């Protein structure tokens, strides 16, 4: 999956802008090569769940179910909702950072800022 599809499309690069979460979800599903039922089964959801949220006007998935689908489709909720594709390392870093206490988050942020400055030198 290409990173930042919306951003590159806005600059006129490659693909047209994708603005709808349903379109992005359909694209991830097609790229996976799996059927809707297979993805739902792997996500622990009702086999008809994808059809319901993709085809019923006004239907929206719960965030926890969207996370399950994203995991099976090897993408992120951020990509599905906003069109910003984070690679696996970035998703792991965010998950680890989110699990930290506020004090440790502050410390980790200082360390990362120092590392970023040092890498530019």
Among residues 89, 70, 59, the alpha carbon closest in space to that of 28 is found at 70
pLDDT of residue 40: 96
Among residues 94, 24, 96, the alpha carbon closest in space to that of 15 is found at 24
Start-end ranges of CATH 1.10.260.40 in the chain?
A: 5-86
Residue 25, both tokens: 């979800």
Rounded mean pLDDT, 30-59: 94
pLDDT of residue 7: 39
> Residue 47: CB partners within 8 Å, gap ≥ 6?
36, 37, 40, 41
Rounded mean pLDDT, 33-45: 96
pLDDT of residue 41: 96
What region, left, alpha or beta, does residue 99 occupy, with left being phi > 0 and alpha being psi -120 to 50 degrees? alpha
DSSP per position, 90-117: HHHHHHHHHHS-HHHHHHHHHHHHHHHH
The CATH H-level superfamily of 5-86 is lambda repressor-like DNA-binding domains (1.10.260.40)
Q: What is the pLDDT of residues 56-78, one digit of tens each?
A: 988 889 999 999 999 999 998 88
């Amino acid at each position: 999956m290409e990173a930042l599809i919306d951003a590159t499309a806005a600059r006129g690069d490659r693909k047209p802008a994708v603005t709808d979460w349903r379109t992005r979800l359909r694209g991830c599903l097609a790229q996976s090569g799996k059927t809707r039922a297979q993805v739902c089964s792997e996500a622990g959801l009702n086999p008809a769940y994808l059809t319901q949220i993709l085809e019923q006007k006004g239907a929206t998935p719960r965030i926890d179910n969207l996370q399950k689908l994203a995991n099976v489709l090897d993408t992120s909720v951020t990509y599905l909702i906003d069109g910003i594709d984070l690679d696996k390392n970035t998703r792991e870093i965010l998950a680890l950072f989110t699990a930290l206490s506020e004090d440790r988050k502050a410390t980790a942020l200082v360390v990362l800022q120092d590392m970023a400055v040092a890498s530019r030198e």
